[in-house]
Amino acid sequence: MLRRSFILCFLSVTTLSVLCLGIDDGQGWKKVKGLKGAMYVELTDNRACVKLMTSSGPQGCEAPNEELVTAPLVHRKDLWIPYKGKRVVVVPAAEVSTLLSLLLSDSELHSRVAGVLVDPTAGRPAHYSTAAKFPSAEYALYDNRSYPWNPFGAGFNRQFFGFPMYMLTSSMANEAARRASYNADNEFKGGRHVARFEVPMSAKGNSVQCITEQTCLPVGSYGVWTALPALPDPSYNTTSPRPITLLVAQMDSNALFHELSRGAGTSVSGLISALVALTLLATANDTASYSRQLAFVALPGEAFDYMGSKRLLYEMNLNSTFVQGLRLDLIDQVVEVGQIGAAWNPATNTSTFYLHTQKGDKYGNTTALVEAATAAAAAPSTNTSSNSSEPSRIRVQQASPDTPGIPPSSLMAFLRVKSSLSGLLVADFDTAFKNPYYQSEFDDGTNTIGAMLEVCVCAAAIVDASLLLARTLHSLAIGNTAASTNITTSNTTLFTDRALAINLVYCLMTQSPGLQCPLASELMTPDIMLFSDGSLSAAVGAYPGVLGWLAAANPKDPYLKPNLPRFLFNYLGLITAVPPSNTSNTSSWDGALCDPGVNRCPLPYACIGWRYGSKDPAGMGRCRNTTTSFVPAYSTRLSYGKVGQWWRWSVSSASASWEAAYQWPPDPLWAESNWPEKTPKLTIFQEEADTTQVITLVVGLLLTATTAAVSWTGVKMFERHLKIH
């Protein structure tokens, strides 16, 4: 009897709970419950907007107070549907600029937004730049700081949003859109679909504070510079120095979602044309007749208030080992290649480049540079013995006098520190940028720069810029504008220039193969990124990244350098190296097998082409006589060294008098916040409905109480049973 009532009691409790938990609240929770595993969608790849710090405060995104942020999904078009709490807005990429501008200006709306998810599946915006309309205007050499060089600039690269943001993958975007519609259809009642962000950012206050507290690392990377021909004696104590003509190219960019930036039109197209130009000059094999010294530098971090050029100029001031031989007192001509991807006009089969120079008596005379570029453009495209009559398709024009001065460029930094030098910026625009995606995630070379990857169309602009640069530099170095004609687009020993340009586009601008392209694979082994879906990528990212430490010892050591500087180092080392001499001198290091660890080459040799190992000749590099060196880029307010027993970054005032002497704006000291491992992370799932949650709680409590009662009864019964027997 007792036993029967015990069993009955247990059964009824179980049935009740199953019934209650199984009640379909009409919001789909029951269905979801069974599929729980499949319905949680996670994103752990580096597609989040993260928090950067400057000396004046934060920039970017975070989950406030390092907490989890969970809120229902709503499509941007359904924001009007009333809901009392915060929501996560799913916004098509084309509308992201409008939405973010609205959020920055409307604090009421901002207070109701828990996060933003960008959906890239419905096409890209017609134009979108995260830089300001006048990027880093305070670095200009003139007073008009409101001139709209970058007409599409939204200025988000200097804003703090305070909520988390993600750029979704296409599959995640479809999922988020579906779930947001579900929420809207049900007016946010019942089992809502939510996004949960884990975007905890450790850095607090400003970058001075977080560097001191070690909760952030400096934004920074390595640039690469070289000389053509190789400097005979970088200390100039056996040879007399020659004046230097320096070619400058930027090598990276910025975006709200850092890891997704490619910098195709912003920096990489100009960088590629500089590499091709140097290759043309090296293979022309005429450097013996140069009366000037040519040098080249690829600068990282220029999107971060000219961090790369400022650091380079400061290192030159210190005569540091990174820039040995590259003396500022010798540099009297600077030619910068800026944005050039939009120069090609398919309607006329010509590329038009604009020559920008800084007006004013204070600044160096640029006539020689402009004349060299003009003659270079006019020279016929080919110069074979049989036919030299093919007209040039390159056009150059002096930029309009209606602008306040030179556009945002590294040249601004050079002229600030040495105003007497002659500076020229070569670009595809006249009075305002043509690139609609300057410093943004959409600047990947596949859109308006005219299908860059469709082999001919805009690679044409890169090829034409290369020839223009090579000829300009060649005639400047020789000191005769007629020398232009000796640099031709006919065969080089490596590739034709066109094939080389396209090879470099594949290596530096594509997601795949990226730096696993044949050209790079012969020179280096890139670090590979592994994504959560199992895919691998050696794509070149255009965010400089952070400097965890500073490799100070040897400026020619490729060890632990990021992919892009390592590729540039090896490529430039290869093309600018002095050809091995034939002396059959076995004690010479020239051409000796090397690696960055065991078999190091002594200076001035650099180990070029090392891929793996220290024994297998196939993977080892060769010691080559080249000036090519790495040069770091990081804030001039930082120093890396031993503090107590630890090597770390610290804030220093060592550069203060140098900065004051050239009236640099206060250094922003860009740094990136630390965050815990396994974050940032985004999860999308369906919450249990409020009513279901209450029922679950009540049933849970009931179940616990009843189970306790039943067990107690059972125990009593058992005891009694014992007593009976």
Cα distance between residue 417 and residue 685, in whole Å: 55
- Considering only 486, 521, 639, 713, the residue that binds ligand NAG (CB under 6 A) is 486
Q: How far is the CB of 657 from ligand NAG (least distance, A)?
A: 11
**CA 87 vs CA 69, 104, 169, 545: distances in Å:** 10, 16, 20, 31
The three-state (H, E, C) secondary structure of 200-223, written as one string: CCCCCCCHHHHHHHCCEEEECEEE
Which structure tokens are listed for 12?
Answer: 């009824």
Does residue number 578 form part of the binding site for ligand NAG (CB under 6 A)?
yes
Give the x/- contact pattern for ligand NAG in 428-467, rule: CB under 6 A: ----------------------------------------
Stretch that binds ligand NAG, among 23-31, 203-211, 213-221, 385-393 (CB under 6 A): 385-393
> Considering the rule CB under 6 A, would residue 604 count as an interface residue with ligand NAG?
yes
Q: Contacting ligand NAG (CB under 6 A), which of 65, 389, 585, 663?
A: 389
Query: 404 or 619, CB closer to ligand NAG?
Result: 404
Contact 630, 223 (CB under 8 A): yes
Phi, psi of 493 (to 5 degrees): -70, -30
Structure tokens at 509: 């601008």
| By CB under 6 A, residue 230 contacts ligand NAG | yes
The residue among 65 and 146 lying less far from ligand NAG, judged by its C-beta, is 146
Taking CB under 6 A as the criterion, the residue among 482, 643, 694, 701 binding ligand NAG is 482
- Cβ neighbours around 385 below 10 Å, total: 5
Site stretch for ligand NAG (CB under 6 A), options 1-9, 142-150, 181-189, 548-556: 142-150
Residue 226 CB, nearest approach to ligand NAG (Å): 13
Q: CB–CB of 635/218 below 8 Å? A: yes
Q: What is the rounded distance in angstroms from the CA atom of residue 244 to the CA atom of residue 230?
A: 12
Position among 186, 383, 599, 639 found at the interface with ligand NAG (CB under 6 A)? 383
Give the range of 76-84, 274-282, 360-368, 552-560 binding ligand NAG by CB under 6 A: 360-368
- Return the SS3 of 141: coil
Binding status of residue 349 toward ligand NAG by CB under 6 A: yes
The minimum distance between CB 641 and ligand NAG, in angstroms, equals: 18
Q: For every residue of 92-113, which 3-state class applies, written as one string? A: EHHHHHHHHHHHHHCHHHHHCE
Instruction: Considering only the stretches 247-255, 381-389, 567-575, 662-670, report the one whose residues sit in contact with ligand NAG under the rule CB under 6 A.
Output: 381-389
Taking contact as CB under 6 A, which single stretch among the options 188-196, 464-472, 487-495, 559-567 is the one that binds ligand NAG? 487-495
Q: Is 586 in the site for ligand NAG (CB under 6 A)?
A: no
User: Which of 65, 105, 387, 585 forms a contact with ligand NAG (CB under 6 A)?
Assistant: 387
Least distance in angstroms from the C-beta of 618 to ligand NAG: 21
Does the protein bind ligand NAG through residue 535 (CB under 6 A)? Answer: no
> Which range touches ligand NAG (CB under 6 A), out of 5-13, 37-45, 365-373, 673-681?
365-373
Start-to-end Cα distance in the chain: 17
Q: Which x/- pattern, by CB under 6 A, does the window 288-327 give for ligand NAG?
A: x-----------------------------xx--------
Q: Which is nearer to ligand NAG, 116 or 132 (CB)?
A: 132
333 is a site residue for ligand NAG (CB under 6 A): no
> In a 10 Å sphere around its CB, with 0-12 CB exposed, 13-18 middle and 19+ buried, how is residue 584 labelled?
exposed
- Output 232 or 665, the one with its CB closest to ligand NAG: 232
Looking at the Cβ atoms of 44 and 588, the one nearer to ligand NAG is 588
CA of 282: how far to CAs of 226, 288, 494, 633, 687, in Å? 12, 11, 11, 27, 64
For position 483 contacting ligand NAG by CB under 6 A, the verdict is: yes
Residue 604 preceded by cis peptide, ω within 30: yes
Residue matched to tokens 């570029």: 373
Q: Total residues at the site for ligand NAG (CB under 6 A)? A: 38
Q: Residue 121 corresponds to which tokens in the numbers above? A: 């599946």
Q: How far is the CB of 518 from ligand NAG (least distance, A)?
A: 19
Least distance from C-beta 367 to ligand NAG, angstroms? 4
Q: Alpha-carbon distance 283 to 262, whole Å?
A: 29
Is residue 365 near ligand NAG by the rule CB under 6 A?
yes
Chain positions 236 to 265 lying near ligand NAG, rule: CB under 6 A, are 237
Asked if residue 625 binds ligand NAG (CB under 6 A), the reply is yes
DSSP assignment letter at 514: G
Q: Which stretch binds ligand NAG (CB under 6 A): 188-196, 486-494, 540-548, 696-704?
A: 486-494
Residue 471, classified by CB atoms within 10 Å of its CB into exposed (0-12), middle (13-18) or buried (19+), is buried
Which CB sits closer to ligand NAG, 223 or 604?
Answer: 604
Write down the least CB distance from residue 243 to ligand NAG, Å: 14
Task: Please name which of 551, 148, 22 lies closest in space to residue 321, comparing C-alpha atoms.
Answer: 551
Q: What is the C-alpha separation between 173 and 180, in angstroms, rounded?
A: 10
Strand arrangement, sheet containing 216-218 = 57-60, 51-54, 671-673, 216-218
For residue 370, give the H/E element and its range: helix 367-378
Query: Cβ(334)–Cβ(246) under 8 Å?
Result: yes
What's the closest the beta carbon of residue 390 comes to ligand NAG, in angstroms? Answer: 4
CA distance 228 to 316: 19
The CB density around residue 655, as the number of other CB atoms within 10 Å, is: 20
CB closer to ligand NAG out of 28 and 580: 580
Alpha helices in 259-354, H assignment, sequence order:
269-284, 307-318
Q: What are phi and psi for residue 687, nearest 5 degrees?
A: -80, 155
- Residue 650 has a CB neighbour count (10 Å cut-off) of 14
Binder to ligand NAG among 420, 490, 512, 704 (CB under 6 A)? 490
Binding residues vs ligand NAG (CB under 6 A): 144, 146-147, 230, 232, 235, 237, 285, 288, 318-319, 329, 348-349, 365, 367-368, 383-384, 386-390, 404, 478, 480, 482-483, 485-486, 488, 490-491, 578, 582, 604, 625
